[in-house]
Chain A
Amino acid sequence: MTIIEAFSWMNIRFLLDGLLVTVEVALLSIVFSFIIGAILGLLRYMKIPVFSKIIGAIVDLIRNLPLLLIIFFTYFALPQIGIRFDIFWSAVAALTIFESAMLSEIIRAGLNSVPSGQMEAGRSTGLSYLQTLWFILIPQAFKAMVPPIVSQLISLIKDTSLATIISLPELTHNARIIYGQNTTYVIPMFIALAFFYFIICYALSKVAKRFETKLA
């Protein structure tokens, strides 16, 4: 049976190695892009003259580019101007650049969804601008932000598969290597790929839904 041969212990371990790289890249990018996205989103919300506009323009440019192009760019183009990452950090950098732009947009929209009276009320009770932001606005905006942030995280996990083009040894890349050696393994490998990605992403969306109903 080819199915049983395809899922030999060696192949499963190779796939799991790939899965580990996928998860590592995804987690690092999530942490970095969340921090950067939050800062950029806040800076845009604060409407600092000129500065916020410039950040807004850069964010708009980045989020309107295909992620694949950014991956190519960080790995193939940046070395030309002397910035060199290895494959792993190229993938993390590309995902972080793209996702932090997406997240900053979500965070800004979330903050904008809080009525402006809240800010005025906070300020008039004697809280400073930053205190009002932190204690009054962000907690309220958080509720509106959770669903889009989760779907962004899910697409980040799916997008790590694109890094296979720069030969990052992640899940998709390793599955391709296995079926490249034996074409009868093609269907089992596609089943495995769909299985792993689906389990992670579906579980994440379900957990988020439960969390949402708890918040509401």
Chain B
Amino acid sequence: MNFWSDPINFLDDWLKGVFAGWGADLLLAHIVTAAIGIIVLILFAMLVAIFLVWVERKVVARFQDRVGPNRIGPFGLVQPFADIIKLIIKEDITPAGADKFVYNLAPVLALASVILLWAVVPLAANIYGVDLNVGVMYLVAAGALGALAIIMAGWASNNKYALLGAFRMVATMISYEIPMVVALLIPTVLAGTMSIQGITLAQADTWFFILSPLGVLIFLISAIAELGRAPFDLNEAESEIIAGFHIEYTGMKFGLFYAGELLHAFTFGGFMAIMFFGGWRFFGLEQYSPFIGMIAFMGKALFGYWVIMWIKYTMPRIRIDHLLAFNWKFLTPLALVTLVATALLDKLLAGSAGWLHALVLFLANLFIGWVTVEILRATGRRRKVEEKDAEAVRTLAPSEGHH
């Protein structure tokens, strides 16, 4: 075992050896190395978040035909640090009538719910925090803590806009959790395990986006809603409720929400990569070094993050009744049908060749997609005819009134 083939276990053994040399017993050395590992992982996630501030600002600038930050450092790379200094020296305001403890706890919990996710993210074949056998459920549980943090922030701010924003956000989160869980069950069914690492390992032959393109789309849409980003950003609709649940937060407390949101988006890009795009796999190159796997994973996660940004800066905000109707009447039924079809076909074709299995599942997804589009088209036509009839009645009515 050397550093280049198995870095985490190598460093772990080395550190334990150092502590044993100091006379610490095995249990204590184990606890201390585990604590160091946790701190390093959190630092890594936070450093990624600082870098993401720059990425986000640069990408949104390009979408809006601007250059973005370019003054401090090469390509404006030092800009996030200037932002951090600005946030730290801002006045820390607690609104009158705020519930102080809950108010201060909420941003910490919001960021923690995102960082918790990194415990189960496999960066490479042997670089991961912990391989839980309930990894997929763990992802949902961390999301539940995030919803709690938002409602705490909205309520404790003692501001009706904050409360309205929190209500909207939590209503979106708990509604879109359902298609997201169902979409997460598709890779679970295909891999036969809920472990995140197990799902990556199961994609040795085919990445799951070929077996379930609809699953990718459903997961992407519900992830964007879960993040509260455009087109689902009613929680911070500027013209209606100013900034939503974090309206009263200043300085670094706002910074924690902001960093949490960016890191959350990147993390969901990462989970999309793990669930559907092979995680740290990159056409067999990853077996030469775990560092190649790590680069491949980060690249795929950045791509997922870029898609989320692309949608955010292209789509207008949708109305709240449309948002809920879209979830309950379209996304949830579609997700359930896709899951049932995937599970049935996967079991029926259990013994068949890999290419046949992939082809049938892919065609089944295309078929479900086609039927969905046809149903939508028929509904749209019917609605148009009804509207035309209603219009005709309205234009006839006043002329009859004159007689």
Whether chains A and B associate is no
Which A residues fall within an 8 A CB radius of B?
none
Which B residues fall within an 8 A CB radius of A?
none
